[in-house]
Amino acid sequence: MALSRALRCCQRIFSWIPVIIISSVVLWSYYAYVFELCFVTLTHDLERVVYLSIFHVCFIMFCWTYWKAIFTPPATPSKKFHLSYSDKERYELEERPDVQKQILADIAKKLPIFTRAQSGAIRFCDRCQVIKPDRCHHCSVCETCILKMDHHCPWVNNCVGFSNYKFFLLFLSYSMIYCVFVASTVFQYFLKFWVGDLPNGPAKFHVLFLLFVALMFFVSLMFLFGYHCWLVAKNRSTLEAFSAPVFQNGPDRNGFNVGLNRNLQQVFGEDRKLWFIPVFTSQGDGHYFPLRTLRESENPLLGSEGKWMEDGGSDEESAEGLYHEESNCSDLLMKERLRCKHTLTVISAAYEKHQATCAGMKRRAVLL
């Protein structure tokens, strides 16, 4: 027990190493740019003021978003998704897997859950003893279930999910802006040092190294940011991109794709003035998300419309066909309609099974 605690403590300490590395590089870049470039190398006061002003705006926004991505606690399922004491006891005492699945299914009927496990059963976390909401996954590093989990990022030492996904995206974007500005303003002085127009000194090393570091980070961030922009446009998480969420009708990668505009609003909010500010504006509470299949259940033609979009149609055109700016009440109404439809399907299946049983009994009676 003591050994496991010691290992966990060491793991927590070492998990901060990537954050320390990034912070150290950023602090060094601040010194190299402000002091070695602006105060030592630059000779024109106007140029120095302009460079320092823009640089500090980029630096502040980078630090702000990085701080929010690191220290925003990941959202976890609410209490209503946890098993009650009686349900937990009944579930643990039951040894038959089929009966356990039925117990979870009965509990989940009261919850806004539409996704299933690959086997078709209710998604349940044995470690957290919680019925997983849609898009929720268990993080082995954080040792808890995370709402709309995207991935666990070592560079922020935090789980990226519903509560901080916007901050993570802004962190990537402002990191790229920071690198682009530094590289573009340093490049001309890099050339002057290279050809010998400026005297050798400590500033030469800092300016040369600053350009290489900025370009290196920009290239790596560009691919990562582009990938996450694609995920936001499709309303998918990294986990959902690798493994499609499973609904009652089977896997569907576009199950949460409700059109480009609404996809963006789910992450950044409806007020576009706040999209680029690291304040929480994401829609919802992380437990329920509007479904594309809800609209398709009301109008089967929309199912083929989704296929047209995959074949080349735009997300914005699909958004007009799928959602016409419904309110949250409309989403809840569609959810209830789908639940009623599922109930009717179950009743119909039970009735057909009953008819088949009666027919079998009649055949046996005739044979006798």
Taking the domains of the chain in order of start, what are their residue ranges?
A: 2-73+170-234, 79-132
Strand-pair partners of 125: 130
Query: What is the residue type of 314?
Result: S
Burial of 165 (C-beta count, 10 Å sphere; 0-12/13-18/19+): buried
pLDDT in the model for residue 326: 41
pTM: 0.79
| pLDDT for the residue numbered 52 | 96
The Cα 209–Cα 199 span in angstroms is 16
pLDDT along the chain (368 residues), means of 10: 75 91 96 92 91 97 98 95 90 88 90 91 93 95 94 96 97 97 92 78 86 95 96 96 91 93 96 95 94 57 40 39 41 53 54 61 55
Whole-number pLDDT of residue 270: 94
Query: Looking up tokens 């060094």, which residue turns up?
Result: 28
CA pair distance 56, 43, nearest whole angstrom: 19
Q: Is 304 exposed, middle or buried (0-12, 13-18, 19+ CB in 10 A)?
A: exposed
Q: Which residues contact 140 (CB under 8 A, 6 or more apart)?
A: none
Query: What is d(CA 131, CA 101) in angstroms, rounded to the nearest whole number?
Result: 11
Using CA atoms, how far apart are residues 66 and 69, in angstroms rounded to an integer?
5
Report the chain's terminal Cα–Cα distance, integer Å.
Answer: 69
Work out the percent of the chain whose per-residue pLDDT is above 90. 60
Q: CB within 8 A of 268, min separation 6: which ones?
A: 166, 274, 275, 281, 282
Asked whether the CA dihedral 290, 293, 297, 301 is positive or negative, the reply is positive
Catalytic site positions? 153
As to burial, measured by CB atoms within 10 angstroms (0-12 exposed, 13-18 middle, 19+ buried), residue 300 is exposed
